[in-house]
């Protein structure tokens, strides 16, 4: 029995063709195959592909999400963003995703539990992304430093105060304050 093609999309750009296929393998596991096919001067084609298996889909989605959030942020800053996304702008990024996977806060949390991550890493998991100039952990460290390293001092602030940090807007500041409020309520009712 061969692999089954469940769904396909494709697009072309000049002499390049791209195919994104959602497939099912012989062992019933699903995977995504991304193929690039270049037309050669000889008339033939040269292809290369990347396969992402089902258990890693969440990494692929997370990476695309971070990439497009960063690109949109660059566009918002007037840097060009999605229209001018280039290898140099990605290579120069200092995001969490550029760290080794085992050092990223979410992966550390999964591997070592809540005790295996520090306060800044926990906050960074709430805010998701930092700014174009620093990642979410660095932004979280900045917030903690301003509060003297004390979560209760962050909790005492309002969303407008937290929104003064670069990369923190209303949504992210409210997420931080909501998490701290949940913790407070748990202590009160616990």
DSSP string, 47-86: EEEEEEEGGGHHHHHHHHHHHHHHHHHHHHTTS-GGGG--
Q: Does residue 148 or residue 5 have the better pLDDT?
A: 148
- Kindly list the distances between the CA atom of residue 171 and the CA atoms of 35, 39, 147, in Å, as whole numbers in the listed order: 37, 46, 20
Domains delineated in the chain: 12-92 (3.10.450.700), 94-189 (1.10.150)
Residues 104, 109, 113, CA angle at the centre, nearest 5°? Answer: 155
Query: Which pLDDT score is estimated for 165?
Result: 92
23-52 pLDDT, tens digit per residue, is 988 888 889 989 999 888 888 889 899 998
Q: How many CA atoms lie within 13 A of 98 on its CB side?
A: 15
pTM of the predicted model over 0.95: no
Which two structure tokens, joined as six digits, stand for 59?
């990494």
| Chain position carrying tokens 């616990």 | 190
d(CA 53, CA 120): 32
Q: Name the band, by pLDDT with cuts 50, 70 and 90, for residue 89.
A: very low
């Amino acid at each position: 029995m061969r692999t089954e093609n469940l769904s396909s999309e494709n697009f072309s750009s000049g002499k390049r063709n791209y195919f994104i296929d959602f497939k099912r393998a012989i062992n019933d596991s699903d995977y995504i195959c991304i193929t690039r096919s270049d037309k050669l001067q000889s008339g033939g084609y040269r292809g290369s592909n990347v396969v992402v298996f089902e258990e890693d889909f969440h990494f692929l989605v997370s990476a695309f999400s971070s990439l497009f959030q960063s690109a949109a942020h660059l566009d918002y800053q007037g840097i060009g963003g999605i229209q001018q996304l280039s290898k140099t702008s990605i290579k120069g990024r200092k995001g969490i995703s550029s760290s080794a996977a085992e050092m990223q806060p979410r992966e550390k949390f999964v591997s070592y539990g809540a005790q295996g991550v520090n306060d800044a890493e926990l906050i960074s998991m709430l805010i998701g992304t930092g700014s174009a100039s620093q990642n979410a952990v660095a932004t979280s460290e900045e917030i903690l430093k301003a509060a003297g390293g004390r979560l209760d001092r962050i909790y005492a602030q309002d969303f407008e105060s937290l929104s003064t940090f670069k990369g923190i807007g209303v949504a992210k500041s409210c997420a931080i304050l909501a998490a701290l409020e949940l913790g407070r309520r748990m202590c009160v009712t616990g």
